[in-house]
Amino acid sequence: MSTPEERMMENLYWWGVPTLFRCPHDTDPANADIGLVGVPHSSGNGTTERDQHLGPRAVRNVSATARRVHMDMGFDPWITSRINDLGDVPLPELNDNEASIQRITDFYKTIDAAGTRPVSIGGDHSITGGIVQALGGGNLAGGQPVSLLHLDAHTDVFAKVPHFLGAKKSAAHWGAYLADQGQVDPATSVQIGIRGNPRTLDWLQPSYDYGYDVITMKEYRQMGLVAAIERIKDRLAGRPVYITFDLDCLDPVVAPGVSNMEPGEQGFQVDEALALVRATRGMNIVGGDVVCLMPTRDHNNMITARVAAAVMFEMVCLMADRDRA
């Protein structure tokens, strides 16, 4: 364990080698209970600026300043669990979305086989498809499809559109094709915070058709935080859970550096969103990701990158908390 003086030095993000949360860099997942992974991919979302691939590097730069202990849970996850930075998914066919998604899947199959739970930073939201292709029905999930806790302004179940500017396993399609392939169970999954910029009046219908429990932002405001937490708990109870957190679920004032900003309706505040994530405490969380960080659109103080690190920290603590139970 490091001394208080050493921990203060670790908090200087401009000093030392940047790894996620200053964890050891060890590419072997067998040496970790929880593996932190960067997924520098942005060819799955072609309608916006394509700088999401810079997200992992931005979070590595600032995550040293993130919280080291969880005051509400009352423990230090870096002590109770083995947590390493596994590095980035190598993506040599960067502009080929389908090839890159397969690379992501192959990378995470190794992590899943080792029994290491991944917490990932993207990258556009198509990375969730690549990751869950490996985890759904895999070792960590006990051979079962995973149930999603999906926080987002958009459903990403646009099944009526065959491709997204050429990308088939795109940021707009993963919620559909993972269900079609049997890696996600929509009937036990929740999509919450949905408030996007609809192009058609029936834009939510594909999610309803698949059986997802969709909680729009308007519905959330009507029911309130406590009721939403109970609905999440009821839906996900007893299931292997995967958490995917699109930063555009947050209000643009909180997270301006995102790829699909939705300023027309107020999004989540950080405390609200983290409370919803914390609804999974005690559950079998097989993995999680934070996506759609756009560092080139962030404030100079890198606030969105810092928020992304805070969400990752919450996921790490939820996994480590279950380990010590």
Structure confidence by residue, pLDDT tens digits, 259-291: 888 998 999 999 999 999 999 999 999 999 999
Based on C-alpha coordinates, what's the Rg of the chain? Answer: 18
* pLDDT higher than threshold 80 for residue 45: yes
> What's residue 159's pLDDT?
80
Confidence of residue 2 (pLDDT cuts 50, 70, 90): low
* Rounded Cα gap, residues 48 and 257, in angstroms: 12
**Cis amide prior to 123 (ω within 30 degrees):** yes
DSSP 108-132: HHHHHHTTPEEEEEESSTTHHHHHH
When comparing pLDDT for 67 and 69, which is higher?
69
Q: What is the DSSP letter of 71?
A: T
Residue-range domain boundaries for the chain: 4-324
Q: How much of the chain exceeds pLDDT 70, in percent?
A: 97
The Cα 127–Cα 249 span in angstroms is 17
Cβ atoms of 186 and 210 within 8 Å: the answer is yes
Summarize pLDDT for 182-239 with one digit per residue, the tens: 999 999 999 999 998 788 899 999 999 999 999 999 999 999 999 999 999 999 999 9
| Lowest-confidence region among 45-54, 139-148, 302-311 | 45-54
pLDDT digits (tens, 9 = 90+) for 249-261: 999 999 999 988 8
Q: For residue 47, what pLDDT is reported?
A: 59
Neighbours of 199 (CB within 10 A): 8
Lowest mean pLDDT among 48-57, 224-233, 297-306: 48-57
15 sits in the region (left: phi over 0; alpha: psi -120 to 50; else beta) called beta
Residue with tokens 């995973």: 146
Within 10 angstroms of residue 225's Cβ, the number of other Cβ atoms is: 15
Token pair listed for 317: 């603590």
Residue 238's Cβ-count burial label (10 Å; 0-12, 13-18, 19+) is exposed
- C-alpha to C-alpha distance for 24 and 217, rounded to whole angstroms: 39
Q: How confident is the model at residue 30 (pLDDT cuts 50, 70, 90)?
A: very high
Assess whether pLDDT exceeds 80 at residue 10: no
CB 248 within 8 A of CB 193: no
Angle in degrees, CA 98, 184, 129, rounded to 5: 20
Determine the average pLDDT of the residues in 161-187. Answer: 87
**In the CATH hierarchy, which fold is given to the domain comprising 4-324?**
Arginase; Chain A (3.40.800)
Note the pTM of the prediction, 2 decimals.
0.96
Task: Grade residue 49 by pLDDT with cuts at 50, 70 and 90.
Answer: low
SS3 201: coil
